[in-house]
């Protein structure tokens, strides 16, 4: 490293007399070299900044599209998670009518199962047909215990320890 520097110093020392005789030419040459280097660096970094700006604009546009899509999906999720007007959120439905009420539900969508501690008020529930609970269509697999009673001419029925398979989701219009 010292060798190139010492060569440059020796060269300048040998030509110092020429530089003294033509200082204006030397100053203009140095100024032209610095100006050329400045313009080259400016041109190079301007191109890089333009590329970065274009990349930022592209990413900004993609972000806006993703945010709109997210907002739409959130609206759909909010609409889907709200029970239909007049429907009991714990109700069990068949053919659009409530045929029972669920107690202590446990939904495991990953396993495709729904477990209910009890379905009460199930006098009109047909266990052979699929049922709707919230936004799920379920098929009753097993009923652990069935209680039926008639008190004062009023019939009641309760199913306990009910296991259901998740068949589908309720289709909303």
Where b means 16+ CB within 10 Å and e means fewer, 144-166 reads eeeeeeeeeeeeebbbeebebeb
Task: Considering only residues 21 and 157, tell me which one the structure prediction assigns the higher pLDDT.
Answer: 157
pTM value > 0.75 = no
pLDDT in tens, 37-58: 999 888 888 888 899 999 999 9
Burial class (CB in 10 A: 0-12, 13-18, 19+), 119: buried
pLDDT of residue 138: 94
What confidence score (pLDDT) does residue 80 get? 63
The mean of the pLDDT values for the chain is: 86
Which string of DSSP letters, residue by residue, matches 71-100?
Answer: HHHHHHHHHHHSPPTT--TTEEEETTEEEE
Listed as own residue / partner, the contacts of 139-144 with beta carbons closer than 8 Å and 24 or more positions apart are 139/164, 139/165, 139/167, 140/164, 141/165
Report residue 88: phi and psi, to 5°: -70, 125
**62 vs 149, which has greater pLDDT?**
62
Mean pLDDT in residue range 24-33: 82
Give the model's pLDDT for residue 24: 75
CA distances from 162 to 4, 95, 107, 150, 156 (A): 90, 20, 12, 22, 17
Q: What is the pLDDT of residues 87-133, one digit of tens each?
A: 788 899 998 889 999 999 999 989 999 999 999 988 889 999 999 99
Reported confidence tier of residue 169, pLDDT bands at 50, 70, 90: confident
pLDDT of residue 81: 60
């Amino acid at each position: 490293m010292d060798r190139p520097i010492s060569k440059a110093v020796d060269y300048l020392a040998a030509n110092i007399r020429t530089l003294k005789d033509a200082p204006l030419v030397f100053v203009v040459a140095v100024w032209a070299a610095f100006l050329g280097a400045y313009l080259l660096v400016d041109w190079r970094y301007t191109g890089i900044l333009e590329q970065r700006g274009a990349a930022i604009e592209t990413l900004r546009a993609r972000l806006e599209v993703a945010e709109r899509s997210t907002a739409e999906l959130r609206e759909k999720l909010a609409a889907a998670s709200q029970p239909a007007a007049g429907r009991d959120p714990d109700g069990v439905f068949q053919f659009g009518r409530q045929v029972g009420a669920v107690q202590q539900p446990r939904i495991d969508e990953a396993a495709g199962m729904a477990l209910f501690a009890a379905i009460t008020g199930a006098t009109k529930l047909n266990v052979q047909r699929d049922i709707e609970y919230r936004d799920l269509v379920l098929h009753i697999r097993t009923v652990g215990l069935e209680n039926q009673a008639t008190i004062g001419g009023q019939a009641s029925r309760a199913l306990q320890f009910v296991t259901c398979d998740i068949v589908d989701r309720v289709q909303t219009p």
